[in-house]
Structure 1
Amino acid sequence: LKTFINNGETGYLVPWRCPEPFVQRREMLLANPLLREAMGRAARAKALQMGWGHAADRMLGFYSSLLRDTLESAAGD
């Protein structure tokens, strides 16, 4: 989960099997609609970064860079 959640920005990470920190964070979010909305927006933006379109763009960039480096190396020989 640490890969997907930035603690305090896109959500909260709480210790496993420790209900008190979970309840505290839940109460904080219920009491603060502005925080809840901001965290929701940040989580959505993070999720969009992890989507297929973003992954495809990163993969395309990787292969383009690899091809460019290979061509430059071959031209230098």
Structure 2
Amino acid sequence: MAKSNAKRQKLYRTNLLKNKSKFEEMKRKARIRDNSRRQSSKGALLHQLRARQKQASKKYRDKKKIKKLKWSSIFV
């Protein structure tokens, strides 16, 4: 049976983690790609990027706050 694209991608990532040099190279290329995208963005695209990053930061802080509240309620 043929694999779906999601399964292929998952298998690729697991194999990539096994080879540290390829994994580091992939991370380096992704860093360069992301930085160039941020630097060349203008107007609406830049606004979308910042809004998405702001939303991700808020989600992380909220999740962290909930985790802290759950942890502190154990000892009360």
TM-score by length of 2: 0.42
The structure showing larger relative contact order (alpha-carbon pairs under 8 Å, at least 6 residues apart) is 1
| TM-score normalised by structure 1 residue count | 0.42
- Structure of greater Rg: 1
Higher helix share: 2
